[in-house]
Structure 1
Amino acid sequence: MTNELESTPQSSASADREQTCDPSNNDSQEDISLGDPNDIASLSSLKAIRSESEDTNRNEQADHNDEVEEDPLLTRYHTACQKGDLATVKEMIHGRLLEVNKDGDTVEHITGLHWASINNRLSVVDFLISQGADVNSRAGALHATPLHWAARYGYVYIVDFLLKHGADPTLTDDQGFNLLHLSVNSSNIMLVLYVLFNVVSKGFLNVDCQDPKGRTSLLWAAYQGDSLTVAALLKFGANIKITDTEGFTPLHWGTVKGQPHVLKYLIQDGADFFQKTDTGKDCFAIAQEMNTVYSLREALIHSGFDSHGYPIKKRFKKSQHARLVTFITPFLFLGLAFALFSHVNPLFAIIVIFLMTFATKKGLNKFVLPSYGRMGIHNVTLLRSPLLSGVFFGTLLWVTIVWFFKVMPWTFADEPYANILMLMILLFEFYLFGRLVNSDPGCLPEETDHENVRQTISDLLEIGKFDTKNFCIETWTRKPLRSKFSSLNNAVVARFDHYCPWIFNDVGLKNHKAFIFFIALMESGIFTFFALCLEYFDELEDAYEDEYQKQGKCFILGDSDLCSGLKYDKFVFLILSWAMLQSIWVASLIFVQAFQICKGMTNSEFNVLMKENKAAGANVLPFNENFNTTPEGFAPSIELDEDNNDTVLAPVPGSTLRKPRTCFGVCYAVTGMDQWFAVIKETIGIKDGSGHNVYSITSKIPTNYGWKRNLKDFWLTSDVNAPLWRRILYSPTGSKALLNGIEVDYFKLYKFTNKDVEQVSDMV
């Protein structure tokens, strides 16, 4: 709808025409061909969900159009329905100034229920229906029902209420659009899912139902570039081969729009990019005309095809083999690099290593990554591969090799206990690394029973929380607090902390404690190795004392033991230097994790709070990031906000708009130094020009119950009958853990424990 929709009834005719989601509905667009890009550009779909500011603008416009309505009483009534003025509506209906089934205007018969529905006024809709309003009355230029009007803007709560009170989902407007078509055109994924589960799944509508031009919901979603809706429709079995009256498939229309994610979903589901339209054009010809070649090429390569649509040759039959090659490559690369620096001129070694890096990157991208299995829409890159975990494993393996074959034989006599300690650390480090790589971070099981999903949707609608913040559109489950969907594990991870590229896995409820042991052992192992290497270099100095005196001191290192290592075993010296370099980011990671554990928050929650602080005071445009259409004045939603139970860690409007990352930025994030600086600022208390603490975020943490309580919650399992050592060393095996000293189920955590009272608040 356009801004005229909340003015006066007589303006609805033009508004309905402007809203039409069928491009062929306008006479000027009757015969649209792909030959003219301007014609294609005119195929505009419906807007996404309105912001509250748009509602305000409409209300203001309504006050200036009184002259359009002949009956001032009816104008006042319709305006009250538009604005949600329930008191006025009740006064007029109870006072018999108007009859509820005779409240339409004389031109297009638009009723108060229509106006209330399209403006998301649930209280008015409820009252009018209770007074006998016809939920299937038709009005406007398209003779649409209130259900159609509500669906156009994705108002899930209005649609749900109307359906429960007799609205017919199979009715179509004059365009031939039913509830599913209009829901898809709203671009609100929450409404689309609601209709799929409550209407399509029950057999009231077919997922492939077509409009008069033969266009299915999947075709419309593809044209709109709505990847979320495309994915949902495909999971419900939408047919990708159905064509419209012009021979266009969803992939053809997706190519017109050029949204890469949409194209990836369709191609992965088997869409034929060589199929031609009635005018003889395939997707490649359409992409050329619409300037979407790059998007089509990206989608093809992502799905295992070259830019011409032919399968890319895979060098490995199984994706596991390709991943293993990626994982092993850093070990070989590091060995060759350290060997070069040990035996040739450093300048020549740098040139060779630079060429090796370039060749390795090209080789992995061209010959290895194409053999990876594709899942979802995320591109397979080296940063999304086991490469960095291979860097860590390669480093650990080279440290083990040089310690076992070089350092230990020379130092065991003088430092037996240090060498035994080093052996134990290495054994535990290999064990923990393998365990973390293959561990379950706390994944919630995916819901496949449609009846259970419908119940979840119903429960969330009752409390005003049916949005992407509380409902996972990928796994169809309710999201517990502190959880997050992981594309790596394709699941919602309970008490999600972060994704760690060094273990190629997520860190969450079930493996967070093991991860802390892992990085703590890593840091202690590096310093133990450092001490043993110094002893080893000292032994070398004693063995080659005469030669050492002839060569003299080292530049910068002087006559220290490190100088001896540089002269007599450069390979070990380089391995030690590389290990010490890793100790810097490991130390910062330990510091950050310790800070966050003491504050009772996860790394993910800390990131959200930092974004909130950055966005505070910024002039950010309203953005409905969570697809929330809870009506104004919805009582349960207000109660939850006042409790302040789960709104603290909501995503920040506009926070998903990221700046392009530089190479330095990637390294900065991968090593965790960005978190380290953020914690330092929080600890010191950096202030802005007005004297306010920019990083004063700890007071916003709803799970901060004091550092002692927070430490106990993290380190102790909830099994009070187990020995203390077991509670400390073991990670949670199920979904239960401590929160404020009380056992909670993190798979069903929907409200936080009260900070002041040692008991769990009412669990939803």
Structure 2
Amino acid sequence: MSSPCKSPHSHCHQHSHHHAGQHGGPKEDQEAAQQVVEDYSSWDIVKATQHGLLDRCRELVEAGYDVRQPDSENVTLLHWAAINNRLELVKYFISKGAIVDQLGGTLNSTPLHWAVRQGHLQTIILLMKCGADPSLIDGEGYNSVHLAVLYQHMPIIAYLIAKGHNIDGPDMNGMTPLMLSAQKIIGMEPTNFLLKLNPSLNLTDKIHRNTALHWAVSSGNVNAADLLLEAGASLDVQNEKGETPLDFARQTRNRIIIHILTSEANSRSARSSRTFKALQKYEISLVMMVCLSLLGGIGYILNLHTDSWLLKGTLLALVTAGSQLFTRRFVGSSSQKHLPAIFFISSIFWMFMTWFICFLPDMAQATVQVPFIISVSLLLYYFYKTWRTDPGYIKCSEEERKQTIITLAEAGCLDVRLFCSSCLVKKPLRSMHCHACNACVAKYDQHCIWTGHCIGAGNHHYFVLFLVALTVMGHWMIYASALFWVNQCSTNLQKDGIGGFLAEIISCSPWVLYIFLLTCSLTVWATLMLILQLYQIACLGLTTQERFNLQMQNRFSKHQVPLRKSPFNRGCIQNLADFFRCRCFGLIKTNSVDWTQQYHNIFQASMVRSAQSV
């Protein structure tokens, strides 16, 4: 039997994480059950309510007990049922005339307030269906949303807001839930969660006229201050004393927050200048030109006809420092996530130029040139398709989000397995939230830094073909580099040894060695990734993320689930046909699935069956 919460006052208020309903060991449960069987007939109605004994409570009520009658501390039976998550008793007491919004206890709270404090979502749903008002203020001046924020119950926050409760509703002092979170909860949550519900960032309280950012600064809440600034909170709003958040920070002498606010103020000032706005318009193109110049400049410096490596090292340090300064000052955070993709395209450009400038004289045959040109063309095409194709982002309107929250909550399914607390959407089968893209992706495989986008149901096949083209082009470049050294460098590995051979190819053409190393790094990555992808697709029918999750599950579980026994593995030929959507002139029937609309979790059900059969 679950242990009841025996105090609706100080104990449950102070310990927000100690919920009712925690079980003891099997022996304790058995003894408690025996005690109920033997002694429950002598229990009073309060004790029976705490332990969830519906029959005993019905017996006492039918004998004449008034369910609206409060005890000496003004606590009703409905309070006791709500605080202990006794759903059947909540229904029964309300059917017998219990007042849903009865205030009681030392905190002058309604049953709904106590259910929120304890995090009993199903009780909250039931009380609200029976007419409970979440906007009522308790003795501390908080409504239900404020309490859910203070006790960090994110599902309850989501449900209350989805049901139409005001996200900016003030407490007794005019504090919004966002202000309370910034002031009292040190850490990322629930501030980060509240910001996804579109609260007003620059409202002020009644007494001090502070914004949420003022309160975050006053409490030294670095995480909340950072999140509020990222969301666009104003640095110019003054409180009743005429102090901005930065003035407030200087009084508290918190160096970290002072640095954060000062940096943000300087950044916003720079972004408002005409020069920055002009640069921002052509930011991606400018970054591409700088990256091309940087990679070309490094190769040019290495290729200088001088024996002074000190001079080359100094020039390389200056070029690197200049590029970093440019990135910090002129490249916004939205463009910085594209830097790896821009670097990749710049590398391909210089490989292409090296082929025609350095390798073409020794490899002028059409049998060599045509495959190389085709591989480069396919590489750029599939890179573009991988980058531009929607990977399968889960999209829905604001109204659909609210309806999803309500539906899942009332079905008892508002948890991380089915609901994404970042996107506030129902997660389809095989989907996952990508923190780099800040979106849920159907049939999520990975976030590829070289393309700057997620790999999912929509672009996974383009990504594999991109890897094929990159692998082919990379091996052609390595082959061409080897021919160049044989024809242009007067050295022999057997005669000069490894040291002499390396010294000769470095002095012969540092540029070619530089491009060779760049090519090798990308080719090795592409080759290994391609082998892994083909193995997962053909042999397992799984994505990279699913394979990783199953391996981690097997590592910490006694029941090992073979990777090949996933419900998505239809055999090698069929897996490849489904993945590449290839019917082979009608010889193979492919299975086309829209993974953005698949919500039945057959994957987990199959894994459970497999685990039980082992």
TM-score range, shorter chain: 0.7 to 0.9
How many residues end up aligned between the 2 structures? 590
> Cα distance, 1:587 vs. partner?
2.2
User: If the length of structure 1 is used for normalisation, what is the TM-score?
Assistant: 0.67
Query: Structure 1 residues 569 and 454, CA, compared in 2 at 3 Å: closer, same or farther?
Result: closer
> Cα distance, 1:464 vs. partner?
2.0
User: If the length of structure 2 is used for normalisation, what is the TM-score?
Assistant: 0.82
Q: Does 1:92 align with 2:40?
A: no
CA distance in 2 between counterparts of 1:52 and 1:588 reads: 51
- Work out which of the residue numbers 188, 210, 216 in structure 1 matches 2:176: 216
Q: Per-residue displacement from partner, 1:269-312 (whole Å, max 9, x unpaired)?
A: 554434444456542354345564414533664xx4239x8556
Q: Does 1:750 align with 2:599?
A: yes
Question: Aligned AA for 2:533?
Answer: Q
- Work out which of the residue numbers 543, 550, 557 in structure 2 matches 1:602: 543
Structure 2 residue aligned with 1:443: 393
Structure 2 residue aligned with 1:333: 294
CA distance in 1 between counterparts of 2:216 and 2:409 reads: 32
Please say if residues 4 and 21 of structure 2, whose CA atoms lie closer than 8 Å, have aligned partners that are also in contact: no
> Cα distance, 1:512 vs. partner?
0.8
- Work out which of the residue numbers 705, 715, 726 in structure 1 matches 2:580: 715
Question: Aligned AA for 1:745?
Answer: D
Query: Structure 1 residues 75 and 755, CA, compared in 2 at 3 Å: closer, same or farther?
Result: closer
Question: Aligned AA for 1:751?
Answer: H
> Cα distance, 1:157 vs. partner?
2.1
Secondary structure of residue in 2 paired with 1:266: helix
1:291-310 residue pairs with structure 2 within 5 A?
Answer: 292-295=254-257, 297-298=259-260, 301=263, 304-306=264-266
CA distance in 1 between counterparts of 2:491 and 2:348 reads: 34
Question: Aligned AA for 1:530?
Answer: I
Structure 1 residue aligned with 2:612: none
Question: Aligned AA for 2:544?
Answer: N
Please say if residues 202 and 237 of structure 2, whose CA atoms lie closer than 8 Å, have aligned partners that are also in contact: no
> Cα distance, 1:483 vs. partner?
1.6
CA distance in 1 between counterparts of 2:410 and 2:114 reads: 22
Secondary structure of residue in 2 paired with 1:436: helix
> Cα distance, 1:159 vs. partner?
1.4
CA distance in 1 between counterparts of 2:42 and 2:320 reads: 74
Structure 2 residue aligned with 1:425: 375
CA distance in 1 between counterparts of 2:418 and 2:288 reads: 36
Structure 2 residue aligned with 1:572: 512
Please say if residues 447 and 476 of structure 1, whose CA atoms lie closer than 8 Å, have aligned partners that are also in contact: no
> Cα distance, 1:550 vs. partner?
12
CA distance in 2 between counterparts of 1:551 and 1:704 reads: 49
Question: Aligned AA for 2:596?
Answer: F
CA distance in 2 between counterparts of 1:269 and 1:331 reads: 33
Please say if residues 117 and 147 of structure 1, whose CA atoms lie closer than 8 Å, have aligned partners that are also in contact: yes
Query: Structure 1 residues 95 and 75, CA, compared in 2 at 3 Å: closer, same or farther?
Result: closer
Structure 1 residue aligned with 2:210: 248
Q: Does 1:502 align with 2:450?
A: yes
Secondary structure of residue in 1 paired with 2:266: coil
Structure 2 residue aligned with 1:592: 532
Question: Aligned AA for 1:748?
Answer: Q
Question: Aligned AA for 2:542?
Answer: M
Structure 2 residue aligned with 1:407: 359
CA RMSD between the two structures: 4.1
| Aligned-residue identity in percent | 23
> Cα distance, 1:100 vs. partner?
6.8
Query: Structure 1 residues 144 and 753, CA, compared in 2 at 3 Å: closer, same or farther?
Result: closer
Question: Aligned AA for 1:400?
Answer: F
1:278-357 residue pairs with structure 2 within 5 A?
Answer: 278=240, 281-288=243-250, 290=252, 292-295=254-257, 297-298=259-260, 301=263, 304-306=264-266, 311=270, 316-317=276-277, 319=280, 321-343=282-304, 344-345=306-307, 347-348=309-310, 351-352=313-314, 355-356=317-318
Query: Structure 1 residues 610 and 260, CA, compared in 2 at 3 Å: closer, same or farther?
Result: farther
Query: Structure 1 residues 122 and 701, CA, compared in 2 at 3 Å: closer, same or farther?
Result: farther
Structure 2 residue aligned with 1:167: 132
Please say if residues 274 and 283 of structure 1, whose CA atoms lie closer than 8 Å, have aligned partners that are also in contact: yes
Secondary structure of residue in 2 paired with 1:492: strand
Q: Per-residue displacement from partner, 1:82-134 (whole Å, max 9, x unpaired)?
A: 45x4xx22233146576674376622232343233223343443444445443
CA distance in 1 between counterparts of 2:121 and 2:261 reads: 32
Please say if residues 201 and 228 of structure 2, whose CA atoms lie closer than 8 Å, have aligned partners that are also in contact: no
CA distance in 2 between counterparts of 1:494 and 1:460 reads: 19
Secondary structure of residue in 1 paired with 2:454: strand
> Cα distance, 1:254 vs. partner?
1.6
Secondary structure of residue in 2 paired with 1:499: strand
1:225-236 residue pairs with structure 2 within 5 A?
Answer: 225=186, 227-229=189-191, 232=194, 235-236=197-198
1:613-762 residue pairs with structure 2 within 5 A?
Answer: 616=556, 698=563, 701=566, 703-716=568-581, 742-753=591-602
Q: Per-residue displacement from partner, 1:724-753 (whole Å, max 9, x unpaired)?
A: 69x9xxxxxxxxxx9xx6443311211245
> Cα distance, 1:704 vs. partner?
4.1
> Cα distance, 1:160 vs. partner?
1.4
- Work out which of the residue numbers 58, 70, 84 in structure 2 matches 1:119: 84
CA distance in 2 between counterparts of 1:590 and 1:346 reads: 41
CA distance in 2 between counterparts of 1:340 and 1:160 reads: 69
> Cα distance, 1:407 vs. partner?
1.2
Structure 1 residue aligned with 2:35: none
- Work out which of the residue numbers 420, 426, 430 in structure 2 matches 1:472: 420
Structure with the larger helix share? 2
CA distance in 2 between counterparts of 1:421 and 1:222 reads: 60
Question: Aligned AA for 2:259?
Answer: R
Question: Aligned AA for 1:405?
Answer: I
Structure 2 residue aligned with 1:730: none
Q: Does 1:581 align with 2:521?
A: yes
Please say if residues 100 and 133 of structure 1, whose CA atoms lie closer than 8 Å, have aligned partners that are also in contact: no
> Cα distance, 1:359 vs. partner?
0.3
- Work out which of the residue numbers 340, 343, 368 in structure 1 matches 2:330: 368
